[in-house]
Amino acid sequence: MESLPEKIIERIQKEDIKPSPRWVFTAREVLLWCLVALCLIFAAIILVTDIYFLRDIGIDILPEAYPAVWRNIIIPISSAWLLIVLATLLAVYIYYTRTEGGYRSRRRVVLPLSASIVILLGLLLHATGYGRLSHDYARSYVPAYRAWHEETKRAYWMHPEAGLLTGTFLTNPSGTSLVLIDEIGRQWNIRFASDTIWEGGVNSATGDPVRLIGTEDGPGFFVARIVRPFTTTASSQ
């Protein structure tokens, strides 16, 4: 009776089975490490785009001052971004554990370490101004991103009762006031104080949309403390 080694050798020779070449395994390993690196970079880009997104819609307006806006708009947006980052970190973990020695590391080590790399890389990209680039790229090429961004921004800024208003100037400034039409077509008489700040080179004569920070002063009246362009430009950053 044929022994198992004999059977195996016979089958190998009969079916002309060959060991897969070493480069196949090396390529697989390289591919996995590339996927790990790409996922980390992608998560960092998502993070830095989120930071830019939040800054662009006006995160510098203190959430303590407008808790409802913070609760209803900012937290859901940040959660959505965070979910994408977490899903990417999960992909990092999955690819990493499939590398040669990846299975030896525990999840509770790999995930926090990956998150730390993403945060550090994100901060580095943020410091180099990459957030604006990725945000502009997403506005141009990611479906629905532009609409989502603008709708979110309008939702955030259409709270005159909370001191946030957005719209377009209808008339040129006449000394200390002008007329603005908001996003739902209401007209507002906007008054300015001597110390009102005009940010980012806002030109009321061009009819560009603007954002105002100030105080509602009765129905249809608003006192502006800060005037910002609706679309942030590089020079206004």
> Which residues of this chain interact with other proteins, rule CB under 8 A?
3-9, 11-13, 17-22, 24-25, 97, 100, 103-106
Q: In a 10 Å sphere around its CB, with 0-12 CB exposed, 13-18 middle and 19+ buried, how is residue 111 labelled?
A: middle
How many angstroms separate the CA atoms of 189 and 187, rounded?
7
Of the pair 25, 137, the CB lying nearest other proteins is at 25
Nearer to other proteins, 96 or 156 (CB): 96
Q: How far is the CB of 22 from other proteins (least distance, A)?
A: 4
Question: Smallest gap, in angstroms, from Cβ of residue 118 to other proteins?
Answer: 22
Q: Cα(6)–Cα(65) distance, rounded to whole angstroms?
A: 81
CA distance 35 to 197: 47
Query: What is the DSSP code string of 16-33?
Result: T--PPPHHHHHHHHHHHH
Tokens found for residue 26? 């090396």
115 burial (CB, 10 Å; 0-12 / 13-18 / 19+) is: middle
Least Å from the CB of residue 33 to other proteins: 15
Q: Can you say how many angstroms the Cα of residue 225 is from the centroid of all Cα atoms in its chain?
A: 28
Decide whether 20 or 174 has the Cβ nearer to other proteins: 20
Q: Give me the least distance between CB of 88 and other proteins, in Å please.
A: 22
Return the C-alpha torsion angle 9, 10, 16, 22, nearest 10: -10
Nearest distance from C-beta of residue 32 to other proteins, angstroms: 13
Closer residue to other proteins in complex, CB, 3/140: 3
